[in-house]
Every structure is written in structure tokens, then in C-alpha cells.
Structure 1
């Protein structure tokens, strides 16, 4: 994250398993989000472990919170790529 020039205060890292989304740092990050913010995730499995929960959180973050997500090891999973139908489909 430092290589991407993300400020230290904007790096949220939980030390526990990603089995659910009730992790303290994740919850803290979500509360601080504003529309048009960008979330970098190292790997999709770092976001969460349960596929359905990941999809639900992705929807909450991109539609309700209106933030972008970039998964660093999967460039296809980058909501900044296109706000058209194709970009929405890929996300």
C-alpha cells in the first residue's frame, strides 16, 4: 500500500481471519468511507472468505457507499475501469 502512496492513516489491517466482515479495522474503514473513495485490496481472499458475503460487501461498497475497489492481484476486478454496462458487469 505504501508503494501506491496510500497514507498510513488510510491503511486498515485486521490481524484476524477474514471469515466474516465483523472485523474491527474493516468496520472502521467502512465508517470512514465517502463517495468516490478508492479501496485497494491486495487479494480478493484478503477481503473475505465467504463468496456470498464478499458479493454482498462488494454491492454495499460500490452501490450504497459509492466507492471504487481495486484488487491488486486481479486487475480485472477494478471498478474504476468503466462505469458503463461492461464495467458494471465485470465488477
Structure 2
């Protein structure tokens, strides 16, 4: 029986050292690691791990969200691990790795995961309800501003402030379509649309409005 670890961070500039230390402390002999979003389950090192593990191995992660941030994906990935004959252990859950009976280990893990998913879904629902209530109260008080825009004259990122101004210039002085402008600056068409809306509000010139509407 081998203890195999899996670690993941979302981007290349994040550090894996804390996960490595936790996994090695758990007795893991080999670690596969990805620097990729948890939304994508087709990660190269994760796929290598699934091909590497054998019967009676135990796959360790530091926490469930390192495997995935989606409850359904977590369930599918753990089933893929079990299909190889291995079992699964997350260090943020009670440790069943010392139980010699693999079937019992899997059963206890499944029960815990069912409880975890129920709690996670309940918490997400409560968060959505609290956000909805907070937005409603803020709107009633007239102080709700919504999520800050990435591209605006006051964006924190100077590059995005620059792109905002360049798109404004394109909308006012070129004949390019919204699609062409979006492609030129590497943004979505929705970004170009809301910048166009900003221009109409900030510069309500009949001539400019006519030009913007025609694009």
C-alpha cells in the first residue's frame, strides 16, 4: 500500500510548499501537483495520478478543494480513484487511512463526503440569501454600486484604465464594429457594450449617440 499525494494551486505564481509539507507529514511517498484552476478536472498531473495509482493505494490531498471546487466533480474524481482499487483521504477530514479494510475506509469516506456536500450546499444557499438581502437593503438605501468594473477610468490596474480609454477612442473615432474592437483589445463584447453605454451617458451629444447606435 502506497500513500500518493495530490497538490494544486490555481496559478503559476502561487506556492505549493504548504501542501507539500502537509502531505509529506502524512507519510506520502510521491506527490503529483498542478498549477491550474480547480474548475478544470482535465489537469495533466491529476490525470497522471489516476493512471499511476494501484490497488490498495491511498490518495491524499491537503483539503477537498485541492481536488476540485465543485461537489459533483469531487464525487466523480473520488469514484475514479476508487475504480482503480485505491482509496481517498483528505487531511481536512477525519483520518481513516490506518483502517486496514479498504471497503470500510471507502464507506466511512463516502459518509463524510455526503455530510460535507450537504453542509457546503447549505452554506452556499445561506451566502446567496445573505448577499441577496444585503443588495436589497443597499438598493433601498441608494448605496448599492454593484461589482467594480475591471475596465473603467478609475480601475485599480493602470493597464485596464489605458485599455478603457483606448476603447473609448475607438468607439468615438473609428468605424470598427464592437466585435472588432473587442478582438483588438482582448476583451469581451460585453465590455465594449458597457463602455459604449458610459460614453452615451457622459457625452450625450446627438451626433455621438447617432454614431454609437449605428455601430
Equivalent residue for 1:75?
94
Cα distance change on mapping 1:80 and 1:66 into 2, 3 Å? farther
Residue 84 (structure 2) pairs with residue 65 (structure 1): yes
Question: How much has 1:35 moved relative to structure 2?
Answer: 0.8
The structure that is helix-richer by fraction is 2
Equivalent residue for 1:21?
41
Residue 63 (structure 2) pairs with residue 43 (structure 1): yes
TM-score normalised over the length of structure 2:
0.36
- Are the equivalent residues in 1 in contact too, given 2:89–2:109 (CA < 8 A)? no
Offset from partner CA, 1:64-86 (integer Å, 9 cap, x none): 1111111001116x476563496
SS at match of 2:93: coil
Residue 27 (structure 2) pairs with residue 5 (structure 1): yes
User: Runs of 5+ in structure 1 lacking a partner?
Assistant: none
Give 1 or 2 for the bigger CA radius of gyration: 2
2: distance between equivalents of 1:86 and 1:29?
Answer: 22
User: Runs of 5+ in structure 2 lacking a partner?
Assistant: 1-22, 114-215
Question: How much has 1:6 moved relative to structure 2?
Answer: 2.2
- Are the equivalent residues in 2 in contact too, given 1:40–1:72 (CA < 8 A)? yes
Structure with the greater relative contact order (CA < 8 A, sep ≥ 6): 1 or 2?
1
TM-score normalised over the length of structure 1:
0.78
Aligned residues: 87
